[in-house]
Amino acid sequence: MIEYETTDSSFFKENEKYCKNIESKLKPLKTDISGYCNCYGYEFKALFEKEDLSFEIKFIKNQTTQNGVVTAVDAHEYAGIEINIRGLQPEYKMTVVKSSLLRYFCSSEYKDKIPEPYYIKLRDFQNYHFTKNLVKTIVDNRISKIRIKNGKFFALIDEPSNDSITLIKDIECIIKNLYQ
């Protein structure tokens, strides 16, 4: 359950609307949702099991402020999503990250398939359809980072997403294509 720290603030109303929207969309998956929401942001996670996989999706929005020595400094705002999935077969390894520097080390085989500034490294996996679907999922969902290692999947999206169900389905598609 998300704890709402209610205030009469337009920022709180916007954050509350976002949290309740996500909460209602995830309800059919029988999720266990816990966290908080206030006028400064929110942080809550949704836990659920699906097809022998354990999902943990964390929705984050926060502000940090710094004291200016001479003049005031603006607050920095971050909003994003972290996805952790456990239960994958441990032999699969993959890294995808936005990095102009690492892109120089990307194999030409993948460099032609994924847009800049992404770097991709797949170990022992050569499947054209998988790579094509992976790239489409990354671009469509604006994913910043994916790592699969030791039976665990991690993804980072550095912006909020209103369509969490489509995001989950797209990531499930990546995982299912690993096993084909």
| Every domain of the chain and the residues it spans | 2-65+75-178
Question: Average pLDDT in the 119-134 region?
Answer: 75
> What pLDDT is attached to residue 58?
96
Question: Which of 17-21, 31-35, 107-111 has the lowest average pLDDT?
Answer: 107-111
Reported as a pLDDT band with limits 50, 70 and 90, residue 65 is confident
pLDDT digits (tens, 9 = 90+) for 72-98: 667 788 899 999 999 998 888 889 999
Average pLDDT, the chain: 87
Q: How far is CA 148 from CA 69, 135, 140, 157, in A?
A: 43, 15, 19, 15
Residue 124 has pLDDT above 70, yes or no: no
Token reading at 160: 């909020």
> What pLDDT is attached to residue 174?
84
Q: 152 near 90, Cβ under 8 Å?
A: no
Sheet holding 53-64, edge to edge: 2-4, 32-38, 41-50, 53-64, 76-86, 152-157, 145-149, 94-98, 118-122
> What pLDDT is attached to residue 51?
84
